[in-house]
Amino acid sequence: MKWIKSIFQRNKPDEGSTKLKLSDLNSWLDEKSSLTLDESKLKEIYSGIDEVGEGLSKDIEALASAKPEESTPPRLLKAGLAARGEVIKQIEGLSNKLTPPRQMDVESVSEHHWTLVKGLGNTVQKFGRAQRYVAALFPRESDAINSDFNKLSRLLVQIEDEIGKNRKEREEIWYSRELVSRIPQELTEINNLRDLVEKDEQKLSELQDTLGSGEAEIKRLASSDEGRRVEELKKTLSAKREELKGIEAEIADLVSPLTKALSRAMKQEASERISLQHREILDTLSRSPLQALDGDISGPLQEVRSHMAVLGLKDRKKEKVLDHLDYLIAKKPLEILKARHVELQSEVQELEKRLAESTSGTVLLNKDIARARKEIERLERELSSNRQNLAAMEEKASNDEAELKERVGKIAGRPMEIDMGRGGQD
C-alpha cells in the first residue's frame, strides 16, 4: 500500500520537509499566505474597542444633555454650543466604524484598522479645534471623551502590532513569489546561452582545424616539386618584368635628348610656321615614347631633322640633337628595343598564364584560409561577449537563488533547501 500512498503524495509539498522543489514553491507559499492572525488576541482587543464604543455613546449622551453654567458669557456660550454639536456629530461617525470586521484574516483586519485610524485622526483633529469651547462649557464630559480617544488609540496600536507580526512574513512571501517567477526565466536564458557558447566553441574548433589543415597544405605545396616549379616561374616572371622596366627606361633615355626639339616643333606647327606630316606620332613620342613606337618611327624622326634649322636651338644644342637623330635613324635602337619589349611582353603573358594555372589551387586555398581567419575572429568576438553575458546571468541567478533560499527559510522558520530542477547541471 505504500506505493499507492506515494502516488497521491507525489505532487504535494511536505510541510515538515527541509527541501522543496522550485515547481512546488508557489503552492507552498499559498499555504503560508493563507495563515490568519491570532484571533483570540484580536477578539480581546475588539472587546476593548466595544467597551470604548459604549463609553463614547454614554459620553455623547452626557455631553448632549449637559447644562452650561448660567454665568457663562453669551459669546462663549454660543461658540461652545455650536462646537458641541459638531463634536457629537464627529464622534457618532467614528462610533459607527467601531464594529469589528467579519473575518479575522490579514486583509480584512488591515483594511478595518486603517479605516479606524483615519476616522480617529479626523475626529481628533476636528475635536481639537472645538475642544477649548467644549471644555470651557463642559469640562467633565470633554475629559471623558479625551479618555475614550486615548483608550481607542492604544487599542489601535495593539492591532497594528498584531498586523505587523504578519507583515514581515507577507513581504517575504511576496518577494519569494517574484523570485520563483524570475529564476526559471534566468535558468532558461542560461541554458540558451550555454547551448550557443557550446555550438560556437565547436564551430570555432572546426574552423581552427580547417585553418591548420589549410596552412599545412600550403606548406606542403610550397616544398613539393610543383611548389619549386612555381617559385622558379615567379623568379623568371619577376626577371622578365624587371627587364621590361629596363627597356622602357632605355627608350625614355633615348627620347629624352629630343624633348626640347619636339616641343619647339609642336609650337611651330601650332603657330603655322611649319607643317608637320607626322604631328600625332611626334606628339605621342614626347609624351609616351613606347606607344609612339607601335608604328614606323623613321619618317617622323626625318621630319624633325628637316625642320631643325627653324626650331631656334642654339648651335651646340642643335648639333647634338642632329647627331642623336642621325644615330636613331641609322642604328634604329628604338625599333630594336621596341621589338624586344614586344617579345618580352609576350613571354610575360605566357608566364603569367602558366603561373595562374599552376597556383589556381593555392589561390583558392588561400581564399579559404582568409575566410576561415575572418570567421574565427568574428566567432571569438561573439564568444567573448556571450561568455561575459553567461557569467553575468549565472551570477544573477545564483544571487537570486541564495535570496530565495534565505527568504523561504525565514518563512518556514528553519533552513530550507530548494531543488532548482536543473537536471544535474551546475
SS3 20: strand
| Greater model confidence, 85 or 183 | 183
CA neighbours closer than 13 Å in the CB half-sphere of residue 65? 6
The confidence band for 128, taking pLDDT boundaries of 50, 70 and 90, is: low
Q: Where are the domains of the chain?
A: 37-167, 224-380
The confidence band for 9, taking pLDDT boundaries of 50, 70 and 90, is: very low
The confidence band for 1, taking pLDDT boundaries of 50, 70 and 90, is: very low
pLDDT of res. 34: 60
Q: How far apart are CA 20 and CA 409, in angstroms?
A: 11
- Work out the burial of residue 265: count CB atoms within 10 Å of its CB; fewer than 13 is exposed, 13-18 middle, 19 or more buried: buried
pLDDT of res. 387: 94
pLDDT of res. 130: 67
Residue 329 C-alpha cell reads as 635613324
| pTM score of the predicted model | 0.49
Backbone angles phi, psi at 311, to 5 degrees: -85, -5
| Greater model confidence, 25 or 16 | 25
The confidence band for 12, taking pLDDT boundaries of 50, 70 and 90, is: very low
What single-letter DSSP state applies at residue 361? Answer: H
Contact 23, 422 (CB under 8 A): no
The confidence band for 8, taking pLDDT boundaries of 50, 70 and 90, is: very low
Mean pLDDT, the chain, whole residue set: 83
Q: How far apart are CA 209 and CA 216, in angstroms?
A: 10
pLDDT of 424 strictly over 50: no
Lowest pLDDT segment from 158-162, 236-240, 254-258: 158-162
Region of 320 on the Ramachandran plot (φ > 0 left; ψ -120 to 50 alpha; else beta): alpha
The confidence band for 36, taking pLDDT boundaries of 50, 70 and 90, is: low
What is the average pLDDT across 29-51? 78
What is the average pLDDT across 248-252? 92
Say what percent of the chain tops pLDDT 90.
23
The confidence band for 422, taking pLDDT boundaries of 50, 70 and 90, is: low
Taking only the tens place, the pLDDT of each residue in 76-117 is 777 777 777 877 887 788 888 888 888 777 777 878 878 888
Lowest pLDDT segment from 218-227, 312-321, 373-382: 218-227
* CATH class of the domain whose range is 37-167: mainly alpha
What is the average pLDDT across 132-139? 75
Cα torsion 130, 131, 135, 138 to 10°: value is 60
